[in-house]
Chain A
Amino acid sequence: MSLERRPEEQALDRLILELREQPAPELDWQRMEARLMREPKPEPSRAGLGWLRRLRLPTAGLLAAATVVAAVVVEHRPTAVPAKLSAKASPLRMFRSVSGEPLNGDQLALGTHVTAGAQPLVVEHVGRARWTLEPHATATLTNSGEFLTLRLDSGALSAAVVPNPKPETFAVEVGGTRVAVHGTAFRVERSADRVLVSVSEGTVAVEPTGTHAAPSFLLRRDSRGSFGLDGHTGSVEGNASAVVSDSASQSHREIAPNTLKGAPRAALRAAHAANHAGSAASASAAPVAVPAPAPTPASSGPALPLQPSISEIETGVSSALDLLNGCFRDQAHSTGIHVVASTGLTLHVTGEGMVQSVTFAPPLAPAVEDCAVNGLRDLTFARSTEGLTFTRVFELTR
């Protein structure tokens, strides 16, 4: 009797081998690590919810009954398909919005999927942003706290963001494209393979996600664009521009190490601390810009991260913006006219956390740049093995 395997079986074995040899998928580990380490990761209150877990079905029944009662009493549009929220971390948190009131975005857990029904769904982050999910659209809250980020999974959303001196406090990610804003009213729509962005107020930067690279496009008021899902390609109409990196449209400065850092850096820290004093209540969520770890020899401590965390980067960005705004106010001649300047600031940060070079695109007045470069010399980021290069678009006003 022959024990030879049939060709189909051999084929299956060969396919299994091929699948085994597939390399592990490459994900954005740094971003994930930053999220995991930044998240407070609250323990689900098992003691309090234990009975609820055991009574999941009856509870769901009661909840459904309560929802029906609420819908009968409160609902003004009985035919509307209600919106749906689901927080991945807590499957019990399935509820319906029937009142038509805006949802409180600050109460949404990270990772919450928000799906609009037949009516638009409004979510409000009080004092910061208000976004409207158009009918049947789905979005996921991927970053909460000071810098809000939504992932638009399907459909369209429009947003009105309260002007904030800090750049990119609100962003929408669609595939590999990131649409980041200052104080702006804009709309983002996801189609099968395109991202359509229209801006009714302010400035929007369109850039690839997961990188700190320079934005690919800048859209200003009354402009619109259609972009690929990679964040690199697209076409724009109206008051918009593709960001170019030729030397004529930018000013690049190398920064020599400063030997007298003590006083200015302390002053910068103090300024930053003062800047954050207003948000003392959320001090734990507002990381310090210039971490000052005890200087330990590299060999004695654990391995440094590849790059500073997102929070550390954004806090450094805030400090850079404070500095740049100060220089813009102090150095520019006062004419009594309200002036707004927009520039893309690219910082190259070494592994030691020092700013090595600065690029302004488009350039600012030489006096403003000199002032900024002097200040940026004293700005430090957390130490890392690779350092980083990132770009942020700033709007300066005086």
Chain B
Amino acid sequence: MVATAHIGRVSWSEPAAASQRVPPVPAKLRPVTELTELIERCKAGDNSAFREVFCTNREAVARLAQRMTGRPGDLEDLVQEVFLQVYRSIKDFRGQSRFSTWLYRITVNVVLMQRRAARSRPVLQEAADETFGADARDLPDDQVARARRVAAFYRLLDRLSDKKRAVFVLHELEGLSPGEVAKVVSAPVLTVRTRLFYARRELLAMLRDEPALELVARELRLADSSEPLAEREST
């Protein structure tokens, strides 16, 4: 059955002819085939397919956008803009890379454009410590501490250059391989590795200046120094 979305309304047309249906495929291949089919339907202007793409990928896009920006404020606008771009440019998606890579590239570009635009605008007053949707007063102590650490870490990420932050987030937080990151940011793998190295080094240096995070390092140092003693005692 084919859904045609008009403005604000979805109407249903007759099911596709049997001859047009995709023949059954081995279960192993189904996801890829289904995705390809979905993308083809999107390209043909099928709004229900676009809705499916949106529903399937929206959380991943929102998570990446949040990690890239570190601020929940403009997240909704960003995610919406990403999917508008997807809608407009899906015709250009040729399947040469994975769909997720293409989607990541759009997300990264939208976030970077927004950041550049934000830099050229006067800075608006911003909440000092946003805890990403959770009201810290309602959380147990350890979760409050964790929320603060996360917020502090986002502040550090924010101090990295756009290029370094992008590769760091994609590799360390999203789990993409350097090769995949290279495709997303359109840079050679070696460049990605270099940016990763320097991003990590800068973050390590910044850790010392961030009180909320220095505490973590201090705890670990203490744990390190007490471990051998404990081992000795147990033997």
Interface of A toward B, CB cutoff 8 Å: 7-12, 14-16, 18-20, 22, 24-29, 32-33, 35-41, 43-44, 86, 88-89, 91, 111, 138, 153-154, 192, 284-285, 287-288, 291, 293-294, 296, 300-302, 309-312, 315, 382
Contact = CB atoms under 8 A, between A and B. Distances in A.
A138 B220 CA distance: 46
Top 5 closest pairs, chain A to chain B, by CB: A311-B8, A287-B8, A11-B217, A24-B59, A7-B220
B11 to A, nearest CB: 7
Given A25-B66, A285-B7, A382-B9, 20 more contacts: A7-B220, A7-B221, A10-B220, A18-B149, A19-B150, A19-B153, A20-B173, A27-B79, A36-B80, A36-B84, A37-B51, A38-B8, A39-B84, A294-B12, A296-B12, A300-B1, A301-B1, A302-B1, A302-B48, A310-B8
Contacts of B93: none
A151 to B, nearest CB: 9
A46 B48 CA distance: 25
B83 A8 contact: no
Contact of B132 (A25, A37, A41): A25
A105 B92 CA distance: 32
A93 B136 CA distance: 40
Given A36-B83, A88-B77, A25 B133 contact: yes
A293 B13 CA distance: 10
Interface of B: 1, 3, 5-12, 47-48, 50-51, 54-55, 58-60, 62-63, 66-67, 72, 75-77, 79-81, 83-84, 87-88, 113, 117, 124-125, 132-133, 146, 149-150, 153, 172-173, 175, 200, 203-204, 207-208, 213, 216-218, 220-221, 224
B80 A9 contact: no
Contacts of A111: 77, 80-81
Given A16-B173, A18-B146, A89 B84 contact: yes
B201 to A, nearest CB: 10
A353 B173 CA distance: 43
A154 B79 CA distance: 22
Given A154-B124, A301-B12, A18 B5 contact: no
Nearest to B5: A37
A28 to B, nearest CB: 7
Of listed A37, A111, A310, residue having the most chain B CB within 10 A = A37
Nearest to B113: A91
A41 B208 contact: no
Contacts of A28: 76
A114 to B, nearest CB: 13
A383 B146 CA distance: 42
Contacts of B203: 12
Chain B interface, >50% SS class? helix
A287 B200 contact: no
Contacts of B207: 8, 11-12
Contacts of B149: 15, 18
B200 A12 contact: yes
B13 to A, nearest CB: 10
A65 B69 CA distance: 35
Contact of B75 (A16, A27, A36): A27
Contacts of A285: 7-8
Nearest to A313: B8
Contacts of A38: 7-8
Contacts of B75: 25, 27
Most buried by A among B9, B63, B72, B218: B9
B2 to A, nearest CB: 10
Nearest to A41: B87
B54 to A, nearest CB: 6
Nearest to A23: B63
A310 to B, nearest CB: 8
Contacts of B80: 32, 35-36, 111
A285 to B, nearest CB: 6
Contacts of A14: 216, 220
Contacts of B175: 20
A36 B76 contact: no
14 contacts: A7-B218, A7-B224, A10-B217, A11-B217, A12-B200, A15-B150, A16-B173, A25-B133, A27-B62, A37-B10, A38-B7, A291-B10, A296-B1, A301-B1
